[in-house]
Amino acid sequence: MKKLKQFYFNRELSWLSFNQRVLDQASRPSNPLLERLKFIAITASNLDEFFMVRVGGLAMVADSETVLDINGWTPTQQLEKIRARVGEMYTDQSECLLNELEPLLAREGIERVDGNHLSKSELKFLRNRFREEMMSTLAPIAIENTETFPALSGARICMCVRLKNDFSSRLGAQTENLASLDQVASREHDRYVLIPMGKSLARFQSLPSKTGYRYMLTEDVVGMFLSEFFGEQEIVEWNTLRVTRNGDVDLEEDGRADLLIGMQAMLEARRKSQCVRLEISASTSLEMRTFLQNSIDVQDSDIYSIRGPLGLSDYFSLAGLRGFPKLNDANWPAQPSPEFSSAESIFQTISSGDRLLCHPYQSYDPIVQFIKAAANDPSVIAVKQTLYRTSESSEIAKALCLAAEQGKHVTVIVELKARFDEARNINWANELADAGVDVIYGVRGLKTHAKMCLVVRREPAGIKRYVHFGTGNYNESTAKLYSDVSLFTCDEKLGRDSVHFFNAITGLSVPQTLEKLIAAPINLRESLLEMIQVETESAARGNSAAITAKVNSLVDKEIIDALYLASQAGVKIRLNIRGICCLVPGKKGLSENIRVISVVDRFLEHARIFHFHHGGDERIFISSADWMGRNLDRRIELMVPVLDKNCKSRLIKILRTYFDDNLAATELQSNGDYVPVTKKRKKKDFRSQLHLHQEACQIHSAQTDPKHTVFEPHRGERPD
């Protein structure tokens, strides 16, 4: 086959395109107002992490001519394109918030109040709050010169106040004794004071109101009463700023015994790392901008002047305002799965057949109950689990502690290097260890990203292994917001593979031959390439060949090139990629048989599901891994074959559901644009997430209907 010139999209610009699709949700009139505000907050939070990790990483190698992206762009070239694109996004954010959402919210009774339009009673109320709470909390920091500028915490709102220097007025007649007026002028520069907004202060200060919700931003309230800090000193101007620091600070893993100490040192280093973004109010004068730039030591190109409030991720709290049900999405409660019944133990249920759950449409409770049952069941002798990210008050972690206290042999791999969850994971690692759990702090040089819980049970017939595999984290909070799948099985070979896989991680060894599980960095890349190659060869022989995959990101060049070759051979490829996609679809002669869609809706699409036609003997997998170099080569990941006929059929149906979406799905074009999926003639509006919710409701309703005396599982249709 003739090798054609390859084309790729830049990873960083592709991610920004994804964030734009999220921001577009904030502008959709069909979304309730507070949900639109939430999408503003999500895009701001996403952008914060993007700067801390991706821009921070590029900034560290900015001068390199050898560190190139998939297209051969240098870090400097990428940073230039990123800055231009981010500038456009800031404009879109401000436009949406100030000109669309705030006026509409005000009509509904949620109003941001201007300090110039307060009643006397409101002014008195705020003055009292300032004097009683804010003034006691805040601590102004005088800046003598740029060298005494404090290391401001990243992502915190800070006020910068410019005060008129009263040095000459205090000198009075003494100025005539100075050698020249120049000496006076040199001491007449305005001085600056910083006021970091306290972490304990709410960002939004509510005003007394009989109806609705009237509020002011905390920095605006402080700005109104600045004179109480500075007395008669003349305030020339005040503005807000926000520093973002490089979060791509790597851990030097010199020794496993010192990993915990090393992680704590890394967190401290992150707090004081290089500034990669300085956000300032658009009203900031050139004098103040220059002062801040010199003091913080940031390039002019990394300063973003923003119209409207900074730190829009804080708007999560406003988006969660209660009392305005019309302005929120309709409730989609997670449905109990009829496959799990309180009439029998969860181990009996799994013994009778594999079980598949689709979250958050179906309840996450069976996963929590699985671990709680393991803790309390006297027949359970061991529990082995991975924890990558978990919730603040995790029921799962508590159940693991209980299991150890009940005398089970509990081993948990807590990944301390889970970015931005390191502190929480350190706390849980300590609590688990105190309860008697054998805690492994990840693996040197790799992140343990696999999602697996293995329960070993002594039964009359012998030892039996029960396993939960998931695509999402063991986190009860995000399980309500992320779209994932779970698989329960007691398949003998998968259970044995799980033991070998887990013991290899904890024992720092290569696992014995895995019969069914596929793992990174061992053989996941090779297995994926082999299965793509099988489809390619099948198509070349004139046989049916197809690949359907759902992942969060597609970045790996080797996988992309294999998909290009498969497309050229005639393989029909459908990809549902939520975020980054470096593959160029629909390009004649290269990728015309590849279709890429992205679904952005109320839940964050997070499941990884792969379907290979395989000559009609469909092979279906769920996985913790995206198709990125880091997942395939630098993380411990799992790809799990789904063997049960009913579970396979359901997953194929779920995959197809997303490609039927004509409301929340957009399709990637060969020029990099995403366009809304065109609704076919005579087709009804179809929203994949709503369909999956309704389906979960129907399954639950059908199984609880008293008119039903015989329950039969739904059999999914065979794929086209």
Q: Is 300 left (phi over 0), alpha (psi -120 to 50) or beta?
A: alpha
**Mean per-residue pLDDT for 173-181?**
45
How many residues in total does the chain contain? 720
What pLDDT score does 681 carry? 73
What pLDDT score does 365 carry? 96
CATH architecture of 520-693: 2-Layer Sandwich (3.30)
What pLDDT score does 181 carry? 42
One-letter identity of residue 60:
M
Closest listed residue to residue 563, CA positions, set 591, 598, 541, 530: 591
Would you say residue 75 has pLDDT above 70?
Answer: yes
Report d(CA 260, CA 468) in Å as an integer. 28
- Using the structure block, give the residue that is written with the tokens 């502190």: 423
More confident residue, 706 or 543: 543
Q: Is 407 left (phi over 0), alpha (psi -120 to 50) or beta?
A: left
Q: What is the dihedral of CA 178, 182, 184, 187, to 10 degrees?
A: -130
What are the catalytic residues?
A: 449
What pLDDT score does 508 carry? 67
Would you say residue 625 has pLDDT above 60?
Answer: yes
Could you give the angle at the alpha carbon of 462 between the alpha carbons of 456 and 467, nearest 5°?
30
**Mean per-residue pLDDT for 631-660?**
97
pLDDT digits (tens, 9 = 90+) for 514-560: 999 999 999 999 999 999 999 999 999 999 999 999 999 999 999 99
**Mean per-residue pLDDT for 473-484?**
95
What pLDDT score does 95 carry? 97
What pLDDT score does 66 carry? 87
What pLDDT score does 512 carry? 66
**Mean per-residue pLDDT for 486-496?**
97
Would you say residue 250 has pLDDT above 80?
Answer: no
CB 312 within 8 A of CB 264: no
What pLDDT score does 419 carry? 67
Estimate the crossing angle of helix 524-540 against helix 557-569, to 10 degrees. 10
| Percent with pLDDT over 70 in the chain | 89
Backbone angles phi, psi at 607, to 5 degrees: -70, 145
Report d(CA 209, CA 112) in Å as an integer. 13
Would you say residue 459 has pLDDT above 60?
Answer: yes
Would you say residue 261 has pLDDT above 60?
Answer: no
What pLDDT score does 257 carry? 44
**Mean per-residue pLDDT for 472-487?**
96
**Mean per-residue pLDDT for 109-133?**
94
Core vs surface per residue 511-541: b (16+ CB within 10 A) or e: beebeebbbbebebbeebbebbebbbebbbe
H helices of 422-510, in order, are 422-434, 492-506
More confident residue, 225 or 681: 225
**Mean per-residue pLDDT for 611-627?**
97
Q: What is the CATH number of domain 11-327?
A: 3.30.1840.10
The sign of the torsion formed by the CA atoms of 555, 473, 410, 422 equals positive
Structure tokens at 324: 């305005």
Would you say residue 416 has pLDDT above 90?
Answer: no
**Mean per-residue pLDDT for 93-106?**
98
Average pLDDT over the chain reads 89
CB 639 within 8 A of CB 524: yes
Would you say residue 148 has pLDDT above 80?
Answer: no
Would you say residue 183 has pLDDT above 90?
Answer: no
Closest listed residue to residue 146, CA positions, set 187, 113, 191: 191
Question: Which of 167-176, 258-267, 685-694 ranks highest by mean pLDDT?
Answer: 685-694
**CATH fold match for the domains 11-327 and 346-510:** no
Q: What is the dihedral of CA 528, 534, 539, 545, to 10 degrees?
A: -60
Residue 122: how many CB atoms within 10 A of its CB?
A: 17
The mean-pLDDT minimum among 89-98, 291-300, 648-657, 705-714 falls in: 705-714
Burial class of residue 268, CB neighbours in 10 A (0-12, 13-18, 19+): exposed
Strands, E assignment, 120-221: 141-143, 157-163, 191-196, 204-207, 213-217
Q: Do β-strands 447-448 and 235-245 pair in parallel, antiparallel, or remain unpaired?
A: unpaired
Structure tokens at 457: 């049970």
Would you say residue 64 has pLDDT above 90?
Answer: no
H helices of 388-508, in order, are 395-405, 422-434, 492-506
**Mean per-residue pLDDT for 40-48?**
97
3-class state of residue 61 by DSSP: coil
**Mean per-residue pLDDT for 451-462?**
97
CB 589 within 8 A of CB 9: no
More confident residue, 422 or 241: 241
Cα distances (Å, whole numbers) of residue 135 to 118, 360, 504: 20, 44, 56
pLDDT digits (tens, 9 = 90+) for 368-398: 999 999 999 999 999 999 998 888 889 999 9
Which CATH number is correct for 346-510, 3.30.870.10, 3.30.200.20, 3.40.50.720, 3.50.50.60?
Answer: 3.30.870.10
Domain ranges of the chain: 11-327, 346-510, 520-693
